[in-house]
Amino acid sequence: MARVFPEGQLVYGMQLPIQSQSTIYAEAWEAAATPYDLAEIARTADRTGFAYIAGCDHVAIPRRLAEAMGTVWYDPVATLGFLAGVTQRVRLMSHVAVLGLRHPLLTAKQYATLDHLSGGRLILGVGAGHVPEEFEAVGADFPGRGSVLNESIDALRAALGPAEYPEHHGALYDFDGLAQLLLPHVEAGRIRPLPLPVLVQLLLGPMITHILTRPAIEPIRSLDLPPVNELCELFAEAYVRAVGQPE
């Protein structure tokens, strides 16, 4: 299995505030936060050595769960795409993409595009999902989401691979003869050959059974991480700039 980060090196990242506002963990200031605030937090994470920033995935929250989960959940592809434009180094993680809500070709197109436009910074974390009403609303199979997850991973192996016309023939998904090839990513004046050196790491979810990687993984350079106390001070400063001095 290819590694996302160098073996033996401690790295740290975070699930971003603002973009998911579950009452279990969200703080009061997030309700009035703006896209500028989210961008400022991402830029601070990028500048201070965080390995990744992450966004969550829910299509819609049913009324019965709204008291605990809240109803503010940004789309992860749009959110990470926006933050890719204001950062340079930090990796962008879906935490987690619910594969059963979308066809694998759609998932592949969205996240391959995000990886391409961000310069190869995607970490695709996936899971099975846990909200039945969400699946019902989009016509997806909630009781069978474990099997859907497993086959979706196999389908993504094909769709995110080097073939211009990926091919997958399974019990749930069947496709071939459909092209999804992105142009090579231009890096430092040099065009990288396909397949793009993106790592797709499958994370979390109680039914996960596979790790999916793309070939030609590019080694990740060692990160120069500042001490934790300095990071706390930097984020405290960013917090004050974004929302003001806490009472």
The pLDDT averaged over each successive group of 10 residues in the chain (247 residues) is 72 95 94 96 95 96 96 98 97 93 95 91 90 97 91 90 92 96 52 36 34 30 45 59 55
Helix 104-117 and helix 145-159, axial crossing angle in degrees, nearest 10:
50
Predicted confidence at residue 77, as pLDDT, reads 97
Predicted confidence at residue 18, as pLDDT, reads 97
Predicted confidence at residue 92, as pLDDT, reads 95
User: At which residue do the structure tokens 């039914």 appear?
Assistant: 207
Predicted confidence at residue 138, as pLDDT, reads 97
Backbone angles phi, psi at 95, to 5 degrees: -135, 70
- Smallest Cα–Cα separation from 59: which of 155, 145, 160, 139? 139
Predicted confidence at residue 240, as pLDDT, reads 60
Q: How far apart are CA 167 and CA 104, in angstroms?
A: 12
Predicted confidence at residue 238, as pLDDT, reads 61
pTM: 0.77
Predicted confidence at residue 7, as pLDDT, reads 80
Predicted confidence at residue 6, as pLDDT, reads 79
180 three-class SS: coil
Q: How far apart are CA 55 and CA 46, in angstroms?
A: 15
